[in-house]
């Protein structure tokens, strides 16, 4: 057999993509396999569908400096990129999505407070003292995306339908709208009074809750012990 017939396909690459100009999108992980995506355009079409982009994704940029990726082979394993249409690259802090709040910065991975990185339990305690509720939410059946933070003011009565609408926007589930919120053991939360500050939950659509090791696989264990490291 010809050695050409034995040529191995390039190894798959894991990348995380953000939406251009969206400071709150936590990023979505993609496995780039050139046996599945024969062309760069085919991959961009899949990105458009997965990110629910309002316009077709036609360009990828590096998140810090906005350098354009020209072809599929230019993607680097383990790196992050920003997905855009034909519009210009918008320079934001994509790697730590969120906005400045309460003199700290909330990110998809926790809370950076006055220059120190805080674990979720510490962050929840500080925010509770300042009148805010803080928890972390996984996506049902998704063992690739890290949990996203949910920050709510305690001064405003919690409307459950409004909370589900917020979760729908933040979770961006493939199955559509978030219809229920579950604890990690699968128990469904029926109202805001059952939520525990600093805990982890799973956003679920119309499908059944999928009992998976979300916490074990998506929350680095060293972050639970080290007070100056943060995850969410």
> pLDDT for 40-82, tens place per residue?
999 999 999 988 877 899 999 998 889 999 999 899 888 899 9
| pLDDT of 150 above 60 | yes
Q: Looking at residue 188, what is its pLDDT? A: 95
Please, is 140 exposed, middle or buried when counting C-beta atoms within 10 Å of its C-beta (0-12, 13-18, 19+)? buried
Look at 23 and 139; give whichever has higher pLDDT: 139
* pLDDT interval class at 17 (50, 70, 90): very high
Q: Please give the C-alpha separations between residue 119 and each of 84, 220, 226, in angstroms, as whole numbers.
A: 32, 11, 8
What token pair was written down for 58? 């036609």
Q: Which residues pair with 149 in a beta bridge?
A: 136
> pLDDT for 94-146, tens place per residue?
876 543 333 334 443 444 433 333 445 545 454 554 456 778 899 999 888 88
Q: Where are the CATH 3.10.20.230 domain residues in the chain?
A: 13-84, 120-217
Q: Looking at residue 104, what is its pLDDT? A: 39
Residue 182: closest CA among 220, 154, 141: 141
Query: What mean pLDDT is reported for the chain?
Result: 76
pLDDT, average across residues 8-14? 76
Q: Please give the C-alpha separations between residue 218 and each of 22, 24, 123, 134, 157, in angstroms, as whole numbers.
A: 23, 19, 18, 18, 31
Q: Looking at residue 36, what is its pLDDT? A: 86
User: For the domain bounded by 13-84, which CATH number is listed?
Assistant: 3.10.20.230
Q: Under CATH, domain 120-217 is a member of which superfamily?
A: Doublecortin domain (3.10.20.230)
């Amino acid at each position: 057999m010809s050695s050409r017939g034995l040529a191995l396909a390039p190894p798959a690459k894991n990348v995380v993509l953000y939406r251009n100009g969206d400071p709150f999108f936590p990023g979505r992980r993609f496995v780039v396999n050139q046996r599945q995506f024969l062309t760069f355009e085919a991959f961009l079409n899949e990105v458009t569908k997965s990110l629910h982009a309002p316009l077709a994704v036609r360009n990828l940029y590096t998140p810090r400096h906005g350098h354009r990726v020209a072809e599929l082979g230019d993607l680097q394993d383990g790196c992050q990129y920003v997905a855009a249409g034909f519009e210009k690259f918008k320079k934001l802090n994509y790697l730590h999505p969120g906005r400045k709040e309460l003199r700290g910065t909330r990110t998809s991975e926790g809370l950076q407070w006055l220059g120190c990185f805080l674990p979720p339990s510490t962050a929840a305690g500080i925010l509770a003292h300042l009148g805010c509720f803080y928890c972390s939410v996984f996506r049902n059946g998704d063992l690739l995306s890290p949990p996203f933070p949910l920050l709510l003011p305690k001064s405003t009565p919690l409307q459950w339908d409004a909370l589900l609408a917020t979760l729908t926007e933040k979770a961006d589930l493939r199955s559509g709208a978030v219809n229920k919120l579950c604890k990690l053991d699968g128990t469904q939360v029926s109202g805001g009074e059952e939520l525990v500050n600093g805990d982890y939950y799973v956003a679920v659509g119309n499908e059944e809750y999928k009992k998976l090791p979300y916490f074990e696989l998506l929350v680095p264990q060293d972050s639970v012990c080290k007070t100056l490291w943060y995850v969410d």
